[in-house]
Structure 1
Amino acid sequence: MKKIFKLILNTIPRPLLIRLSYVARPVLALSLKGSTYNDPIDGRSFRSFLPYGYGHQRNNVLSPSTLSLERHRLLWLYLKNETDFFTAPHKVLHFAPEQAFYKLFRGMKNLDYTTTDLYSPLADVKADICNLPFKDNEYDIILCNHVLEHIPDDTKAMQELYRVLKPGGMAILQIPQDLSRETTFEDDSITDPKERARIFGQYDHVRVYGRDYFNKLRSIGFRVEEADYTKTLNPQDVERYCLAKGEIIPVCFKD
C-alpha cells in the first residue's frame, strides 16, 4: 500500500491528490492500522505513516486518518497542552484552513470561528491577506500557517495580521523555514517552475525563510516566542507522533 501511494504521489497533480486522499482515508487507515505511531489529533494508531512531499518526499510523515503532517500534529499538541484554545471562548480567524483541523475547529462550541482565504472553498470570507476586510483589534487568536511564503508582500500581510489581532491576542504564524540560514532568501529572476521548486521547496513559494523571520515579525510590532516545542516533549513521543524535531512554532502576541 505504501509503495502504491508513493507512486500516486509522483504522478497526480497536488490539488487532485489531496481530494483523492480524503476519499481514500478509510482504506489507508485500515490497511496501516497498528500501534507504532499515533496521530494525536484523532488518537488513532498505525504501524506506519505515509510518505509525503513536494519534489522531495519525506517518509513516514502523513497520517493515514487525518492526513495531518508534522506541523499540524505539533500545532495541535501545542494548542492542547500550552493554551486554553480548546476550553475558553475565543474569536478565531483561520487562514487557508487545513483539512486536518477544519471540521474539528468548526464544531468547537467555545470558538467563534471564521475561515478566510483568497481561493479555498473552505473559506467563509474570500479575502486578500494584504487587504483584509476585518476591523482593527477584532480577533483573539489568528492561525496563519504555511501562507506567508506564498505572499510577495509579506510585510503588508504581517501588518494586516497585526492590525486585526486584539491587544493581548495570539497569532501562530508557521512557515517552512531553513534554520541553517541566517537571512531569508528571495530571487524573482528564477522563473522556471522546476527550478523554483528545487530552490524554494515549491514552485509557488516566493522565498525561503531564515532565522531572521522572527525579527521581521518583531519589527511589525509582535512580541514573538520562538517555541521549540519538541524540545519539551518526551523523545519517545516525538517519534511516536512523527514530529519534526527542532521545528520552531512562531507564537506571536500583540501587547
Structure 2
Amino acid sequence: MPAPTTDEPETRADRLRRKTLRGVEILITPRLLREQIEYLRHGPAPEPDGDGSGAAAPAEPAAVEPEPEPDPIEPHFGSSPWERAAVPVTDGPGAQCNVCDWTGDRFDGPEHVEGQLCPACGSNGRDRFLFACLIRRNDPRLGATVLETSPRMGAAYRQAMHGWFHYLCSDYDASCHVGEIQLDLQHLGLTDDSVDVIMSPHVLEHVPDTDAALAEIVRALRPGGVLYLQVPILQGTTAPPTEPEFHGDNTPVFWRFGFDLAPRLRAAGFAVTTLVTQPLI
C-alpha cells in the first residue's frame, strides 16, 4: 500500500510509523487507524472556524453526576423472634426477614442461599434458615444456652441474641470473624453437658479432625441438646480437596463433605435429621 502523500517529504520516522501501522489497519478499525495516522503526522484536527470549515471537534460528553448512595438501613430486633417464627424466609414481593424486623420488596443479591441479603441485618439465605430452625425448636421460656461458632452477622445481632438466650459466640480465628471468645471445635474447653444448642454454620469443613470435633460437641451438649450443622455437601463420599481450597475469608478447606457425613454423625452419638433448603431460602 503506497504511503499517504503529504506536502512535506516523508522522514525515516514516518516510514517506520507507516510500516508499524500498515499491517494492523485492516485487522482492527480502518477508520480509527487512519485517524491515528493523521494524528501522528499532523497533530489534532483543526477546530472549525467561523464559517463552518475544518473538521468538527468531537463534542465533550456531558458530565454525569453519580447517584448518591442510599442511607444504610439500621437493623432492628425489637420484636420477639418467636413472633416472627412464621414469617416466610423466601424472596418475593413483600419479603420479610425472620432474623430482624425488616420488611421490603425483596432481598438483595442473587437467588442463592449465599445471596438474598437482608438490607438491614445482612443475613443471607442460609442465615435465615438456620435462625428459623433455632427459633422453631427452642422455647424462649427455657432460657437455652446457645453456642454459635463463627457468627457471620454483626454486633446488633449478637446483642439481640444475648437478650433472647444465654448466648456464647466463638471463633477460632479472631481476625476473620466476630466471635467474642476463641474456641477450637477439636478441644472446646467447655464442661460436660453445659450447652443446649450449638449452631455451626459452614465451619466443620475447615476443621482438620472431624471425628474429634464431633466427639467434643457430643460431650459439651446436654442430654436432649441439638447441633445445627450446616456444611456444603458436594459429593457422595467425603474427601479432602484435590487442590488447596480457601473460602471467602481465606480460611483453608480440609474436607469436601459427602452424603456419608450422616452415618458418621450417627456413629458419634447423634440422632440425625437432614433438612434441605428450597432454592430461595
The TM tier, using the shorter chain, reads 0.5 to 0.7
- Taking the TM superposition and a 5 Å limit, the aligned residue runs for 1:188-199 are 190-191=243-244, 196=245
Match in the other structure for 1:71: 126
Q: Could you tell me the TM-score, scaled by structure 1's length? A: 0.64
Q: Is the 8 A contact 1:106 1:113 kept in 2?
A: yes
Q: Percent identity?
A: 24
Indicate yes or no: 2:216 matched with 1:160.
Answer: yes
1-structure distance, mates of 2:178, 2:114: 28
Show structure 1 runs of 5+ residues with no match. Answer: 1-23, 231-237, 244-255
CA drift at 1:165 = 0.7
Greater helix content: 1
Match in the other structure for 2:172: 118
Match in the other structure for 2:99: 41
After superposition, the CA RMSD in angstroms is 3.4
Q: Is the 8 A contact 2:95 2:105 kept in 1?
A: yes
Query: Match for 2:204 among 118, 139, 148?
Result: 148
1-structure distance, mates of 2:192, 2:267: 19
| RCO higher in structure (CA 8 A, sep ≥6) | 1
Greater strand content: 1
Q: Is the 8 A contact 1:90 1:140 kept in 2?
A: yes
Distance verdict in 2 for CA 1:128–1:212, change over 3 Å: same
SS in 1 for 2:116: strand
Show structure 2 runs of 5+ residues with no match. Answer: 1-68, 76-91
One-letter identity of the residue aligned with 2:240: E
Match in the other structure for 1:20: none
Query: Match for 1:211 among 251, 254, 259?
Result: 259
One-letter identity of the residue aligned with 1:66: C
Indicate yes or no: 2:229 matched with 1:176.
Answer: no
CA drift at 1:29 = 7.7
Q: Could you tell me the TM-score, scaled by structure 2's length? A: 0.59
One-letter identity of the residue aligned with 1:77: A
Structure 1 residue ranges (4+ consecutive) displaced by more than 4 angstroms after TM superposition = 57-60
| Larger CA Rg, structure 1 vs 2 | 2
Distance verdict in 2 for CA 1:61–1:220, change over 3 Å: same
**CA deviation vs aligned residue, 1:205-228 (integer Å, no higher than 9, x gap):** 222212111111111111111134
